[in-house]
Structure 1
Amino acid sequence: MQRAMRLLEAVAEHPYGAPAKQLARETGLALPTAYHLLRTLVHEGYLHREKGLFFLGESAERLGSSGAEQKRRSTMVDTLAQWRDSIGVPVYYAMYREGEIEVMCVSDTPGNPAVEEWADFRETGHAHAIGQCLLSQLDESARRDHLARYPVQSITPYTVGDNHTLLRRLERQRRMEPVVERQEYALGTVCAAVPITVGTTAATMAISLPAHQADRLLPAARRLQDEIGRLLGSLALSISI
């Protein structure tokens, strides 16, 4: 396995392909051994051979793509944990993708637990800050389409009353302002979500706090927004995890 990996790494260094003799020399393998391993890797789809040269195959490219995705996800997880600890709040990352609200990552601690998803986040976007923030980044047609599939419903006594009222609220939302929600999704909890737009992707970072700490909500959201602004360039590649 180790020798096969060395060959794969060597082939990856040659985007225009390399012959078996060169790969054997670069990896320190005997030529018969290199030939045997190269044939096996071609058979398994990790390499392909063309005019005597070896190139990475589809299986190897899928592995590379998966590895890059895992690295992006790891970067996002580490960043959320850093903000969680420095601000002292649970931090959430969510996206609007293919017509759905998706919470991609949550970072919390026993001392600062995340909000329990007692009602499906996808179906209750009208009630929580994450959903309202994502919907505010869509055009009116996309908002109406979402609400046609997931109409406003009462979650708590504080939940917005109907589709029309929610649409008016979303229209009034300032473009880069945090979206604040107080006990609309979960009694005893207040939340704020910071909009992030990278290209055509609508995304958000959000925080939550117990209602008795509501005075901390906006300062914490502003601090999160500042942190996002500082790191947005390096996070842009991680937005699509």
Structure 2
Amino acid sequence: MPTSSASTTDSARTAAPSGGVQSLERAFDLLERMADAGGEVGLSELSASSGLPLPTIHRLMRTLVACGYVRQQPNRRYALGPRLIRLGESASRLLGTWARPYLARLVEETGETANMALLDGDEVVYVAQVPSKHSMRMFTEVGRRVLPHSTGVGKALLATFPPEEVRALLARTGMPAATDRTITTPEGFLTALEEVRRRGYAIDDNEQEIGVRCLAVPVPDSPTPAAISISGPAGRVTESATDKIVPVLQQVATELSEVLTSSGGTQAS
């Protein structure tokens, strides 16, 4: 059993009483550790990261396998199971429902279409949108999936990732050009992410669609990587408009984060 201070801390956190059922807390903790590890792990890896003894982990994993939330691979390692997909899809829809009042505020204060997107695997998926009231407005279908390198929300999401993980993702997806403004090299994209981190927001400047500009920020401390954005015609989302819109985006992202990370959740008034 690991004796390092990190493992001891994790073990204490996992076993700490919270008024709930300890075995449930441990089971969900193991599922999250599996997700953090890419979805497939061995028992010894889980023991090292959680600080729990192997017999305890084996018992919990056996229960999760029986319920369909984990499956055992032919190589004896454990992978996240298919029953989690339905839970994830339902949670994504609910996340979009929670976000809508905040997106509506963005529309009221900026005049432009507001979006919320998540990073799902290697793709960005839009989970909520509130359209602008302008007759000339941007529209992205909820459920639409795009590659992150050509979008503002994709940049905002990936700016929170280590460069080596970003390079690996780009190697898997490729970097096709949506327009002649799309960034198509890993070096160029990593430089753009440095700029996002420096100024605190991301820009899609005609990179996904000619004539459209998008401003995006990550939702801090979100349980899953999430970002919100506004998008509109380049003639309206100008540099001067950006100076007014970004603080609103950042404020709404912070308020939305508080809802997503609280146990009960409250709606915007």
3-state SS of the aligned residue for 1:197?
Answer: coil
Aligned equivalents of 2:120, 2:207: Cα separation in 1: 23
In the alignment, structure 2 segments of 5+ residues that lack a partner are 1-87
User: Which of 94, 97, 102 in structure 1 is aligned with 2:117?
Assistant: 94
Aligned to 1:154: 177
Aligned to 1:198: 221
Residue deviations 1:29-75, cap 9 Å, x none?
xxxxxxxxxxxxxxxxxxxxxxxxxxxxxxxxxxxx99988765432
**Contact 1:189 1:211 (C-alpha < 8 Å) held by counterparts:** yes
**What one-letter code is carried by the residue in structure 2 that aligns with 1:93?**
M
Aligned equivalents of 2:207, 2:89: Cα separation in 1: 38
Aligned to 2:146: 122
Alpha-carbon deviation of 1:187? 0.7
3-state SS of the aligned residue for 1:174?
Answer: helix
User: Which of 122, 125, 137 in structure 2 is aligned with 1:113?
Assistant: 137
Aligned to 1:233: 258
Alpha-carbon deviation of 1:176? 6.9
**Contact 1:93 1:203 (C-alpha < 8 Å) held by counterparts:** yes
Residue deviations 1:120-178, cap 9 Å, x none?
7423x211111111111112232122101221222212111422211232234326701
User: Which of 122, 140, 149 in structure 1 is aligned with 2:163?
Assistant: 140
- Percent same amino acid at aligned positions? 22
3-state SS of the aligned residue for 2:146?
Answer: coil
Aligned equivalents of 2:213, 2:91: Cα separation in 1: 35
Normalised by the size of structure 2, how large is the TM-score?
0.55
**Contact 2:159 2:196 (C-alpha < 8 Å) held by counterparts:** yes
**Contact 1:188 1:211 (C-alpha < 8 Å) held by counterparts:** yes
**What one-letter code is carried by the residue in structure 2 that aligns with 1:87?**
T
**What one-letter code is carried by the residue in structure 1 that aligns with 2:138?**
A
Aligned equivalents of 1:72, 1:96: Cα separation in 2: 13
**What one-letter code is carried by the residue in structure 2 that aligns with 1:137?**
T
Give the 5 Å matches for 1:1-241.
Answer: 73-109=96-132, 111=134, 113-116=137-140, 121-123=145-147, 125-174=148-197, 177-198=200-221, 201-213=224-236, 214=238, 215-237=240-262
3-state SS of the aligned residue for 1:158?
Answer: coil
Aligned to 1:47: none
Aligned equivalents of 1:209, 1:162: Cα separation in 2: 26
Alpha-carbon deviation of 1:204? 0.7
Aligned equivalents of 2:91, 2:178: Cα separation in 1: 39
CA pair 122-234 structure 1, distance change in 2 beyond 3 A: same
Aligned equivalents of 1:72, 1:82: Cα separation in 2: 16
Normalised by the size of structure 1, how large is the TM-score?
0.60
Aligned equivalents of 2:176, 2:89: Cα separation in 1: 39
In the alignment, structure 1 segments of 5+ residues that lack a partner are 1-64
Aligned equivalents of 2:186, 2:97: Cα separation in 1: 37
Larger RCO (CA under 8 A, 6+ residues apart): 1
> Which moved further from structure 2: 191-200 or 87-96?
191-200
CA pair 131-207 structure 1, distance change in 2 beyond 3 A: same
Q: Which has the larger radius of gyration?
A: 1
Aligned equivalents of 2:186, 2:139: Cα separation in 1: 24
